[in-house]
Structure 1
Amino acid sequence: MYIRSIFFLVLLLCCTSSVLSAKDKDDENTLLKIKKQLGDPYSLRWWVKGFDYCNASANVATEYSYITCTSTGRVKSLVLHNLDVTKPFPDGICGLTEMEYTEISQIPGLYGPIPSCITKLSNLVLLGIMKTSLSGPVPDFSGHTKPTNLTSINLSGNQLSGTIPPSIFTLPNLDSLDLSSNSLTGTIPPGVLQTKNPSLGLANNSLTGELPKSYGSVDFWLIDVGGNQLSGDASFLFGKQKTAVNIVLANNEFEFDLSYVEFSDKIYGFDLSHNKIYGKVPDSFATAAGLYYPNLSFNKLCGELPKGGNMWRFSPAVFAHNSCLCGPPLPSCSNSAPAPAPASP
């Protein structure tokens, strides 16, 4: 799943400076501490005492790390990826108190919990820790010093467990949350991301229960909860005025009548496959101007497909393995049993 992560774009646009301050020495010592906690990997060999890590000409981005600084010489952003280490997460990172952007990714040897102190980095705007072997809970952001400017959290592709902390939805500017591909359990908390068109990724966990009804009032840009054990009604995610571009509910136990769902012209794709969705495919499916990548396969849908409109875009695979769908691009309805009348909304 694609979640709006702009880490590298932002990092490349961040200003750098060769100005050194007294505080800069503290950050230098913190970086050396992080390096030591990671076992002094060869890929960070240029992290040595006295190195001007704020100097743009010296601090060339490598496949392993990248640093930018504020105008006063403090570490503003830190990227670490593809390191060949087998170590716990370095809690020294919490000493970079002016840091706004960090991405720690593709380090499968990184293990242990995410230190709780990371939630006290009050200047954080973007937090990314992806594709590691980190375990334990998702950090709790209920403290008084939580980063209220945080706009993006990506903790996907780890081994995090436990439930989703409700406090994560209290971050007032959080626009993108990706907790997909972990081992999270329990129900989804009722809180919602508070920005205008947020992105939410909870795919490939072991979440149960129903989607919070409060999600019906959210205009998601993208929501992906596929590959869980969720059930009940999710039709409230759709609507003629909704602005969602992509909705993924695949591989769950959702059960609702599709007959009365209205598809927005804004929606580009959705995946409702491998659920228990019933009823007919509504006419708005054929008239949704922006729809190119739907998937309704492996459900309990029945009846004649809508005619005309944009139906020419869709292959038979979109509708495969349902109860009794018929009509182009599927075989004719002439030899099919009549569809049951849809239930009242």
Structure 2
Amino acid sequence: MPTAFLLKLFLLLLACLSCPEDQKQALLQFKSSILAATTSFNSSNFELQSWNSSSSCCRWLRVECNDSPNSTSRVVISLDLMGGLYIYPSPEPPLPSTILAPIFHIRSLKWLYISNNNIQGEIPAVGFANLSNLVSLDMSGNNFSGSIPPQLFHLPLLQYLNLDRNSLSGKIPEEIGNLSRLQDLSLSGSRFSDGMLLSVLSLKGLELLDLSDNDLSMEIPKEIRNLPNIFGVEQIMHIKP
């Protein structure tokens, strides 16, 4: 059987598979939460017009599903919402972090990008505990406040964590050393005051560490510069003296 025909058949089968109804409803609830939180939101401007009840969420813009046709449905594995929820400049108040609640029902998520959306409030602790399949999480460029919840440090597959440019504060928790697969850790531009530097030594796969523009006073331990996969000393961004 010709390869081209098999490929077309495979793609047709994927197109026929729908995402799970519970994941579709979670995303529609998420969209409704945004609409309720701001009057200036226009879904057509942010590619969310495709999010509707009459089509599979695997066909929606900014949503990606897995490519395996081994079951009766495909599952959502990626949400790319970078800059897609908030109009800049806008007279609207920041979006509350509670709008993220429906997303935490999508336990199959591997990649979640919600940067640059002016989301304000504490990082939802219990919610992220549900996303144990996360590999990459980008929440940079928002206005998250408070401390980093410990639930983020119990995501066993996490490789990329970006919390740059928020209003997070307190000590950087020692538990960050639990993220054994972490490769990229970016915590710049917040209000962290000392903390976890020695626990980073257990992150043997770490390639980039950015702690710049915080309220840290301690020096970088020399041992961190010797981590086997750090690109070089220049990849360990400066700490304020």
TM-score, normalised relative to structure 1: 0.51
Alpha-carbon distance between aligned partners in 1 of 2:219 and 2:52, rounded to the nearest angstrom: 57
Cα contact 1:148–1:172 (8 A) shared by 2: yes
| Matched residue, 2:90 | none
| Matched residue, 1:67 | 63
Change (3 A) 1:204 1:225: same
3-state SS of 1:269 partner: helix
| Matched residue, 2:4 | none
| Matched residue, 1:108 | 86
Alpha-carbon distance between aligned partners in 1 of 2:22 and 2:139, rounded to the nearest angstrom: 28
Map residues 114-133 of structure 1 onto 2, 5 A cutoff: 114=98, 115-116=100-101, 118-133=103-118
1:202 aligned onto 2:187: yes
| Matched residue, 1:18 | 15
3-state SS of 1:50 partner: coil
Alpha-carbon distance between aligned partners in 1 of 2:12 and 2:230, rounded to the nearest angstrom: 34
| Cα displacement (A) at 1:101 | 1.2
Structure whose alpha-carbon radius of gyration is higher: 1
| Matched residue, 2:168 | 184
Q: Which structure has the highest strand share of the two?
A: 1
Map residues 51-66 of structure 1 onto 2, 5 A cutoff: 51=55, 54=58, 65-66=61-62
Any gaps of 5 or more consecutive residues in structure 2? 1-10, 36-41, 88-93
Cα contact 1:19–1:54 (8 A) shared by 2: no
Alpha-carbon distance between aligned partners in 2 of 1:186 and 1:173, rounded to the nearest angstrom: 25
Q: Considering only aligned residues, what root-mean-square deviation do their CA atoms show, in Å? A: 3.4
Identity %: 23
Alpha-carbon distance between aligned partners in 1 of 2:56 and 2:141, rounded to the nearest angstrom: 33
Alpha-carbon distance between aligned partners in 2 of 1:234 and 1:206, rounded to the nearest angstrom: 17
| Cα displacement (A) at 1:150 | 1.3
Cα contact 1:210–1:231 (8 A) shared by 2: no
| Matched residue, 2:39 | none
Q: Which structure has the highest helix share of the two?
A: 2
1:237 aligned onto 2:234: no
Structure with larger RCO (C-alpha < 8 A, sep 6+): 2
Alpha-carbon distance between aligned partners in 2 of 1:15 and 1:270, rounded to the nearest angstrom: 45
Cα contact 2:133–2:157 (8 A) shared by 1: yes
Map residues 25-44 of structure 1 onto 2, 5 A cutoff: 32-39=28-35, 41-43=43-45, 44=48
Alpha-carbon distance between aligned partners in 2 of 1:166 and 1:201, rounded to the nearest angstrom: 17
| Cα displacement (A) at 1:183 | 0.1
Change (3 A) 1:15 1:193: farther
Cα contact 1:211–1:230 (8 A) shared by 2: no
The number of residues matched between the two structures is 209
Change (3 A) 1:16 1:42: farther
Alpha-carbon distance between aligned partners in 2 of 1:237 and 1:270, rounded to the nearest angstrom: 11
Alpha-carbon distance between aligned partners in 2 of 1:149 and 1:215, rounded to the nearest angstrom: 22
Q: Which amino acid aligns with 2:194?
A: G
Alpha-carbon distance between aligned partners in 2 of 1:177 and 1:15, rounded to the nearest angstrom: 35
